[in-house]
Amino acid sequence: MSTDPDRRRRVRAVVFDLDGVIVDSFDVMRAAFTAAYAEVVGPGPAPFAEYNRHLGRYFPDIMRTMGLPLEMEGPFVRESHRLAHRVTLYDGVVETVTALRDRGLGLAVATGKSGPRARSLLGGLGVLDLFDHVIGSDEIPRPKPAPDIVEHALALLGERSADAMMVGDSVADLASARAAGVTAVAALWGETDPAALLRERPDHALRSPAELLAWCPAPVSGG
């Protein structure tokens, strides 16, 4: 993994995935997916373990990949909204994001959720204003693993890919980061498969949000 000190000094922007990085929403996603499957498909065990392997991608794309009805999106979103009060922030996220803002970095969220859902969730948790931009997969031409959502975040932030990093907890996040030319950071603090992420050879692999601060000092003026 890279430890290039020059690369460290150039970081001016951080793009975060949402679920599994900023918020712990897995219990809610599991409940919402199970309810949507029962309502649209019928009785039987909902294949949440397979769904979990595709996290980071846009829900309709996951349904197509799994061969499940796109009609599951409606009840999934409905149940996700109904249970949103059960979503929590990961320990250390607020402190880390606040410290990055204080250091002058641009901050964005690029999520597989729709933009309105993501902004509503972060607003309900009282942290929406910590981020300069929150972008959903319904607001770009191609969702992850394509680079579009990361590139759009950088355009809004006015930063170059060489000066940015993407923090995600899925293979799709890392692929999107790499395709956009930003530093790919694996977040290992959520309900993820560390081995699967490490096989993707991320530039950095972090065990807690606070570890990000070592890679993101205040930008060097004029550089």
User: Which CA distances in Å does 2 have to 104, 196, 198, 215, 219?
Assistant: 23, 19, 13, 11, 19
pTM of the predicted model, to two decimals?
0.90
Burial 41-79 (b: 16+ CB within 10 A, else e): eeeeebebeebbbbbbbbbebbbeeeebeeebbebbbeb
Check: CB of residue 59 under 8 Å from CB of residue 76.
Answer: yes
16, HSE (Cβ side, Cα atoms, 13 Å): 27
Domain termination site, one of 86, 108, 135: 86
The answer on 136 and 53 residing in a single domain is: no
Question: Is 33 inside any structural domain?
Answer: yes
β-strand partners of 106: 13
pLDDT band at 223 (very low <50, low <70, confident <90, very high): very low
35, HSE (Cβ side, Cα atoms, 13 Å): 17
Q: What residues contact 85, with CB distance under 8 A and at least 6 apart?
A: 124
State the pLDDT at residue 2.
Answer: 43
Our count of domains for the chain comes to 2
β-strand partners of 107: 14
pLDDT band at 52 (very low <50, low <70, confident <90, very high): confident
3-state secondary structure 178-198: HHHCCEEEEECCCCCCHHHHH
Mean pLDDT over residues 116-143, rounded? 96
The answer on 181 and 127 residing in a single domain is: yes
Domain of 202: which CATH number?
3.40.50.1000
Mean pLDDT over residues 60-76, rounded? 96
For 143, the domain range is 5-24+87-215
pLDDT band at 143 (very low <50, low <70, confident <90, very high): very high
Highest mean pLDDT, choosing among 44-58, 90-104, 184-198: 90-104
pLDDT at residue 5 tops 50: no
